[in-house]
Amino acid sequence: MPITNAEIAEILREYADLLEIKGANEFRIRAYRTAARNIDNLTRSVAQMVSTGEDLSTLPGIGQDLATKAAEIVRSGRLPELEQLKKEIPSDLIGISRLAGLGPKRTGALHRELGITRIDQLEEAVQQQKVRLLPGFGARTEQRVAEDLSRERDTPVGSKRYRLSVMEEIAQPLIEYLSAIDGVRQVTIAGSYRRKKETVKDLDILVTHHAKCDVMQWFVEYEDVEDIVSQGDTRSAVRLRYGVQVDLRAVPQNSYGAALHYFTGSKAHNIAVRRRGVQHGLKINEYGVFHNGKRIAGETEEEVYATVHLDYVEPELRENTGEIEAAGRGTLPGIVKPDDIRGDLHTHTKATDGRATLREMADAARQRGYEYLAITEHSRHVTVAGGLDASAVEQQIAEIDQLNEQLDDLVLLKGIEVDILEDGTLDLPDEILKKLDLVVCAVHYKLDLPAEKQTERIIRGISNSYPTILAHPTGRIIGRRRASSLDMERLMRAAKQTDTILELNAQPDRLDLTEVHARMAKEMGVMVAISTDAHSGEELNFMRLGVFQARRGWIEPGDVLNTKNHKGVKDWLSRKRK
């Protein structure tokens, strides 16, 4: 299986991070990040380009040096310079860079200025209040580092988790490979992957097969296997490239449901189901459900749930946060599905930092069968993205009007992603906002204000009568930047009062709202929009990740603005302006 673009990008990104920790030239660091992003968003396979001898330096943002490195990654699956840097840089520093959104740059400063190479040295420096004195830190950052350090004691620093989207790219070809083996019947990934958690530690795969099929041997011979951790008749474990661990278990057909239930987890859900079993005089384990030593169920998950008088629980809900009680009462939510989505309400084009034209975005949306697509460029304050000023917005409005005339199966909504400035005012005047169909608002700088100030800033922003959707409310980037401190309950009350919709941003490293916030929105009666924030036609595919996250938050189709048809959306959006 050739290396995927996402995997190449991940290696380049890691390299850029390590360079930054080391304090390398910032242009060089940026070059790697840009290349990673471009490769990530490419529609063609870099591996394929290499195999057909194409010149990678023709790709946008890839110079000769990077082309050589990318080709090396394709050929060998690794970047020797990265391996070398990993040896040079103390391994704790990489873990430290993930604390409290410190990032590689500030980690480099800790290393150079305070000589920190290990966690315990950082703990000491925090205690002595030395960290706050470094440029770019301050007392609040130091406080957050202290909090994260105490939290991290439960999960060791550096215990790597992979974003779901990255895991999917690694898992899908393996599943195809296993499914194609003669004699294999079912192949399913259980664990946190099946529950669609935003990050996944390892893959837990179950197979059923006919008697004469040596699936374990085939498994360890998969071409991306780097190490065989263990190999047995019914269970094997391997490590793939990039260190991803995969456990494979072969189970008898009549235990398949019980095993799937057991290995899907979560552990807390399993324990609660098992306890319910005990109350009914049943023993539940990965082999089946037993009454007085006799098997009474196990072939399907539905069967397992039925023995303890529970409705079937979707994997995304299995966290023991009330789903068992609801399944017992028959009140589980009918959670939203990817097919329920009728459009996307947050996207960019080449007019700012997107990579596709208006026309290309419209075509991509039509291909998905969407009814509507909102174009929501950045406003002027976001200078790095070439944010639009009032006259540029006017120009885009005219372009969209023109294109809408030609389209008969899709409506383009004229929108903006306007910045909420530090004082809570908006980055564009009302006169221009009122000309748009949809105003999305967002915070893009000063994400680290104290909770009260940040909350007030955003509430002031959404209290304006034009913005109807608040984008990526907490600003977190998974594994890189922690969420802004916010009084979410207060914010949601204000959203409810002002008829403002909260976005669940579906970018794989944002997924912001979290599932906890999504569920909170539902409980407080706040409408949610699941949006991709796409910067290319391809990225409209992120919608499914947003839907998964919404499902984990118990969100039903009626809670989601973009399950409505065009008229329904328009009606909702007009509430605020009245």
Handedness of CA 209, 212, 216, 218 (dihedral sign): negative
Q: How far is the CB of 199 from Ca ion (least distance, A)?
A: 10
CB nearer to ligand DGT: pick between 285 and 465:
285
Of positions 30, 75, 267, 434, contacts ligand DGT by CB under 6 A:
267
Q: Please report, to the nearest 10 degrees, the dihedral formed by the alpha carbons of residues 503, 509, 515, 519 taken in order.
A: -10
Q: How far is the CB of 201 from Ca ion (least distance, A)?
A: 5
Q: Is 275 in the site for ligand DGT (CB under 6 A)?
A: no
Tokens linked to 437: 């169909």
Report how far residue 288's alpha carbon sits from residue 259's, in angstroms, rounded to the nearest whole number.
7
CB nearer to ligand DGT: pick between 202 and 437:
202
Of Ca ion, ligand DGT, none, which one does residue 475 interact with (CB within 5 to 8 Å by kind)?
A: none
Report how far residue 365's alpha carbon sits from residue 343's, in angstroms, rounded to the nearest whole number.
8
- Sorted by sequence, the CB contacts under 8 Å of residue 566 that are 6+ apart come out as 342, 343, 371, 372, 411
Q: Which residue is nearest to ligand DGT (CB)?
A: 265
Q: Is 188 in the site for ligand DGT (CB under 6 A)?
A: no
Report H helices in 128-250: 138-152, 164-179, 191-194, 215-220
Q: How far is the CB of 204 from Ca ion (least distance, A)?
A: 5
Q: Is 204 in the site for ligand DGT (CB under 6 A)?
A: yes
CB nearer to Ca ion: pick between 249 and 348:
249
Q: Is 202 in the site for Ca ion (CB under 5 A)?
A: yes
- Identity of the residue numbered 480: R
Question: Cβ–Cβ contacts within 10 Å for residue 409, how many?
Answer: 10
Q: How far is the CB of 204 from ligand DGT (least distance, A)?
A: 5
Query: Looking at 260-268, 423-431, 496-504, 551-559, which segment touches ligand DGT (CB under 6 A)?
Result: 260-268
Of positions 177, 218, 263, 372, contacts ligand DGT by CB under 6 A:
263
Q: CB of 440 within 8 A of CB of 471?
A: yes
Of Ca ion, ligand DGT, none, which one does residue 271 interact with (CB within 5 to 8 Å by kind)?
A: ligand DGT
3-class SS of residue 297: strand
Of ligand DGT, Ca ion, none, which one does residue 481 interact with (CB within 5 to 8 Å by kind)?
A: none
Tokens linked to 337: 């599905």
Q: How far is the CB of 112 from ligand DGT (least distance, A)?
A: 34
CB nearer to ligand DGT: pick between 160 and 460:
160
Query: Looking at 98-106, 265-273, 294-302, 526-534, which segment touches ligand DGT (CB under 6 A)?
Result: 265-273
Q: How far is the CB of 159 from ligand DGT (least distance, A)?
A: 9
Q: Is 191 in the site for Ca ion (CB under 5 A)?
A: yes
Query: Looking at 82-90, 267-275, 548-556, 558-566, which segment touches ligand DGT (CB under 6 A)?
Result: 267-275
How is 498-526 classified by DSSP, letter by letter? TTPEEEEE--TTT-BS-HHHHHHHHHTT-
Q: Is 320 in the site for ligand DGT (CB under 6 A)?
A: no
CB nearer to ligand DGT: pick between 154 and 408:
154
b/e map 506-537, b = 16+ CB within 10 Å: bbbbbbbbbbebbbbbbeeebbbbbbbbbbbb
Of Ca ion, ligand DGT, none, which one does residue 141 interact with (CB within 5 to 8 Å by kind)?
A: none
Query: Looking at 95-103, 204-212, 291-299, 470-478, which segment touches Ca ion (CB under 5 A)?
Result: 204-212
- Sorted by sequence, the CB contacts under 8 Å of residue 447 that are 6+ apart come out as 454, 475, 481, 484
Nearest to 314 by CA among 163, 195, 441: 195
Q: CB of 246 within 8 A of CB of 190?
A: no
CB nearer to Ca ion: pick between 204 and 559:
204
Q: Is 451 in the site for ligand DGT (CB under 6 A)?
A: no
CB nearer to Ca ion: pick between 258 and 555:
258
Of positions 78, 140, 144, 201, contacts ligand DGT by CB under 6 A:
201
How buried is residue 488: exposed, middle or buried, by Cβ count under 10 Å (0-12/13-18/19+)? buried
Q: How far is the CB of 153 from ligand DGT (least distance, A)?
A: 17
Q: How far is CA 555 from CA 134, 182, 502, 516, 546, in A?
A: 43, 40, 13, 11, 11
- Sorted by sequence, the CB contacts under 8 Å of residue 196 that are 6+ apart come out as 164, 315, 316, 548, 549, 551, 552
Q: CB of 462 within 8 A of CB of 500?
A: yes
Tokens linked to 468: 């109807």
Angle (CA) 505-509-513 rounded to 5° is 35
Of ligand DGT, Ca ion, none, which one does residue 507 interact with (CB within 5 to 8 Å by kind)?
A: none
CB nearer to ligand DGT: pick between 242 and 262:
262
Q: Is 202 in the site for ligand DGT (CB under 6 A)?
A: yes
Of positions 200, 436, 502, 518, contacts ligand DGT by CB under 6 A:
200
Report how far residue 475's alpha carbon sits from residue 374's, in angstroms, rounded to the nearest whole number.
21
CB nearer to ligand DGT: pick between 121 and 266:
266
Of positions 95, 101, 108, 191, contacts ligand DGT by CB under 6 A:
191
Q: How far is the CB of 238 from ligand DGT (least distance, A)?
A: 14
Q: Is 271 in the site for ligand DGT (CB under 6 A)?
A: yes
Query: Looking at 27-35, 189-197, 450-458, 545-553, which segment touches Ca ion (CB under 5 A)?
Result: 189-197
How buried is residue 326: exposed, middle or buried, by Cβ count under 10 Å (0-12/13-18/19+)? middle
Tokens linked to 34: 């840009």
Q: How far is the CB of 197 from Ca ion (least distance, A)?
A: 9
- Identity of the residue numbered 545: L
Nearest to 510 by CA among 484, 490, 489, 485: 484
Within 13 A of 532's CA, how many CA atoms are on the CB side?
26
CB nearer to ligand DGT: pick between 79 and 284:
284
CB nearer to ligand DGT: pick between 121 and 285:
285
Query: Looking at 202-210, 407-415, 432-440, 535-543, which segment touches Ca ion (CB under 5 A)?
Result: 202-210
Query: Looking at 58-66, 177-185, 222-230, 264-272, which segment touches ligand DGT (CB under 6 A)?
Result: 264-272
Report H helices in 180-246: 191-194, 215-220
CA 29 to chain centre: 24
Residues that bind ligand DGT (CB under 6 A): 191-192, 197, 200-202, 204, 262-263, 265-267, 270-271
Q: What does the binding site for Ca ion look like in residue numbers (CB under 5 A)?
A: 191-192, 202, 204
